Structures are given as structure tokens and as C-alpha cells.
Amino acid sequence: MKTEDYLQQKILTGIKPTGTPHFGNYFGAIKPALKYSKYFKDSLFFIADYHSLINQPKSLDLQDNIYEVAATWLACGLDPKKSLIFRQSDIPEILELAWILSCFAPKGMLNRAHAYKAFIDKNTKENKKDLESGINMGLYSYPVLMSSDILSFDSNVVPVGQDQLQHLEMCRDIAGKINHHYKNSNILTLPKALDKQELKKITGSSDNNFLENSIMGLDGQKMSKSYDNYIPLFAEEKKLRKLIMKIQTDSVGVNDPKDSNNSLIMDWYKLFATDLAREDSSFDALLNINKLVSDYKKGISWGEAKEELFQLVNKSLSGKRESYNKYMSDKKQLDKILLEGKDKARLIAKATLSRVKKVIFG
């Protein structure tokens, strides 16, 4: 496909409201999805709250997380006039289609889903008597619900990380089975993953490291909620500074030269500098990065390097943080935006569902 062709297409992103978004989500999901959505005719962002339900969250936590996700994406630049943002649980048609899909989803295929298999492996390792212990049907049929999210809106392209590729394959498989069974290839639209190759076709360049943009956490492991090594994207200034000061460093002497090629502080600095330069043309990323590299050679202390990083991160996020806080203190406004998104999204999902039902039930 040529770049222009994407302008006719629909891109869809589902976001699980699992907790306060962090730096990893920002660089790995939010930024790229917002950036690439501009190449598509329609972009849909939805909060996958039914998917989070498989972990049986407390009601208030789930509600908080939903607002946090919505406020984060809006603060990062999602424009509800140009894109749709809505809650999955506001679109009952998704669940109706999900049942239909489940009747065409081979059970054996779902047995092979990564999340389910990982659970079984864990139970096996722990010598559990019942290998299915702790697994609910929501977890098991997660890929079917995700397929319904995608197919309900006739999505052409879905930006997914490595961990979600299998789900997308399953979605294509199920949709293909239905189209084949009813001998009509127009019933369901088979989606494509937005991977590196696809991205290159869209943007015409290969320098985007989207999908591999995983950011390391405070301890040098991949940043993740489960490792508790993350920095919340919109931590208040004081807390942000405190957390940055916690970055683990080696024991090179205070004034000794330091290796800028092997430093988490430097890696983060580069990411934020490049990000800031895109939004603020008066900021010269290269100049600032080179300066810090040369300070490393001269023997900047870790404390000073962290301070430099803090100043940059704070500068780069403060505007968005302000906007985030505004949204969070005005839930009515958030509700309004989500309801407007719902009204538009439901029209699409209704049309898809009635098309499918017409074929099946006449």
C-alpha cells in the first residue's frame, strides 16, 4: 500500500486501564499511536475496561484507572474532534459480536494463547493439583473479545506490540472462518498489524523504532508495573525528582569519567530530548545531548547528571501534566468526551453487527 492509501483506512487502538500510565507506556504506546494515527482517515481509541475485568479489580480502582487513561491520552494530544475515544463497556454490540465469534473460534486455538498457556505453566511449576486453578473464562476467551473489538469497527490496522501479535492472528483466523463459511469475503474486515514493515510503508522512512521502544525502569530492567520500577508519567514535580534520583547507577568515583553509552540516565535523556525537540522547535536536542555526553567524559557526578535529566523531563512533561490535572479535576468533562465518543462509535458497531446478523440469521 502507498502512503496515500492509508488515508482511506481505519486504525484502532485498545488501552487496558490497568493503572497510572508511566514513561514506558508514553514512549512505547501513547506517543507512537498518536503519531501514526495522523496517517489514517479514521482513528479509534478505546479503553478496554471489559478486558481489565478479568483481573477482578475493585470498582473504585477501575473507575480511577479509566479516568486516568482517558485524561492521559487527551493530555498527550489525542484530539476528540479528530479521533474517537470511548469506553468498551459503553458498546454492548461488541459483546454480541463476541459470542458469534466465539462459535467460530477453535477451542484448540485458544488453548495456545500465550496468557492462558503462561498461567497453566505457572500452575504446573507450582505443582498445583488443578492446572486450571485461578483461570477464569474471561482470561480464556480474552482473544475472542479482542477480536470483536477490532472487527466491530472494521479496523484495517492495529498497532500492536510483540505480545499482542498472536491475538491479531487469532482475530484474522476467526474472521476468515466466518467469511469463508458464509462464502462472503465482505462480512468481516481482516485487520493488519502495524509492524515495522508496515510503518515504513506509511512514513516512507525506516528510522522509527516504534514497537521496540521499550524503556528500561529505575533498576535497569524493562519498565513495568509488575517490577515496581516505573515513574508515573504525570508524577508531581517533587515526586518526579525524587524518583529520578533513585535511578540505579554504578560505583564509578564521583568525579571520574563516565560511560555515556551504558547509562540509563543518558538513554532517558536522549528519549526526552528528542521528544521535546519535536514539540518545541527552540529546543536543540542534539546540542543538549552532546553537551551531556561531554560532561560524562569530563566526570559529571551521578547526582548532577540526574539533576540534568530531571530538569529536562520536567520541562518536557509540565505542560501535559497541567492539562492532565485539569482533566482529572473535571470528571464531568471527561464523561462528556467519552459519551460523545460512545455515540459515534456505537453507530459503527451497530452497522457491523447488523450486517453480520443479516448474513447469519437472515
| Residues at the contact surface with ligand TRP, assessed by CB under 6 A | 12-14, 16, 48, 51, 146, 149-150, 158, 160, 164
- Report how far residue 224's alpha carbon sits from residue 38's, in angstroms, rounded to the nearest whole number: 28
- Report how far residue 292's alpha carbon sits from residue 256's, in angstroms, rounded to the nearest whole number: 14
- Select 78 or 160, whichever has its Cβ closest to ligand TRP: 160
Distance in Å, CB of 279 to ligand TRP, minimum = 26
At 239, list the grid cell.
515526586
- Select 48 or 70, whichever has its Cβ closest to ligand TRP: 48
Distance in Å, CB of 220 to ligand TRP, minimum = 24
Paired residues of 12 in beta bridges: 44
- Select 145 or 231, whichever has its Cβ closest to ligand TRP: 145
Q: How far is CA 61 from the centre of its chain?
A: 19
Distance in Å, CB of 338 to ligand TRP, minimum = 16
- Report how far residue 167's alpha carbon sits from residue 163's, in angstroms, rounded to the nearest whole number: 8
- Select 148 or 316, whichever has its Cβ closest to ligand TRP: 148
- Select 155 or 263, whichever has its Cβ closest to ligand TRP: 155
Helix (H, G, I), strand (E, B) or coil at 283: coil
- Select 167 or 241, whichever has its Cβ closest to ligand TRP: 167
The string of DSSP codes covering 18-42 is -SS-BHHHIIIIIHHHHHHHTTSSE
Distance in Å, CB of 260 to ligand TRP, minimum = 33
Helical residues (DSSP H) of the chain, grouped into ranges: 3-6, 23-25, 31-37, 49-52, 59-75, 92-102, 107-111, 114-125, 137-140, 142-152, 165-181, 196-203, 237-245, 264-279, 285-298, 302-328, 331-361
- Select 211 or 266, whichever has its Cβ closest to ligand TRP: 211
Distance in Å, CB of 276 to ligand TRP, minimum = 27
Distance in Å, CB of 223 to ligand TRP, minimum = 15
Distance in Å, CB of 189 to ligand TRP, minimum = 13
* Number of residue whose CB is nearest ligand TRP: 14
Q: What residues have CB less than 8 Å from 191, skipping those under 6 apart?
A: 12, 150, 151, 155, 156, 157, 158, 168, 171, 172, 175
